C-alpha cells in the first residue's frame, strides 16, 4: 500500500486548543496504519521536539506571529 503524504502546514504556529501551549509544525515523519500521519512539532516555549498526529494538528487553532510576540513581551518584559 502506498501512502501519499498529505499537505502539511510546515512552519505554522498552532496551539493545543484555544488556550494551550504553542507549537510550530514541522515535517511529516511517517504514516500510521490508520491512514493518519505522525508530524514533528516543536514546542515554542521549550524548544522540545515531539511527534503529534496530523488529525489532531488539523483541529488545533492557528496562531499568528504578532500575538505570539506580544505574549512573549508580556511574559518576559
The CA distance from 37 to 62, in Å, is: 19
- Report the percentage of the chain scoring pLDDT > 70: 79
For the ranges 18-27, 45-54, 66-75, the lowest mean pLDDT is seen at 66-75
Domain boundaries, the chain: 13-76
Supply the pLDDT for residue 53.
Answer: 97
C-alpha cell at 38: 505522525
Supply the pLDDT for residue 75.
Answer: 61
Task: Give 5's pLDDT tier (boundaries 50, 70, 90).
Answer: confident
Per residue in 26-44, pLDDT (tens digit) is 999 999 999 999 999 999 9
Amino acid at each position: 500500500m502506498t501512502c501519499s503524504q498529505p499537505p502539511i502546514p510546515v512552519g505554522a504556529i498552532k496551539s493545543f486548543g484555544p488556550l494551550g501551549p504553542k507549537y510550530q509544525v514541522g515535517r511529516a515523519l511517517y504514516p500510521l496504519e490508520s491512514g493518519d500521519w505522525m508530524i514533528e512539532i516543536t514546542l515554542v516555549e521549550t524548544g522540545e521536539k515531539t511527534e503529534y498526529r496530523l488529525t489532531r494538528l488539523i483541529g488545533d487553532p492557528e496562531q499568528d506571529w504578532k500575538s505570539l510576540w506580544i505574549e512573549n513581551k508580556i511574559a518576559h518584559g
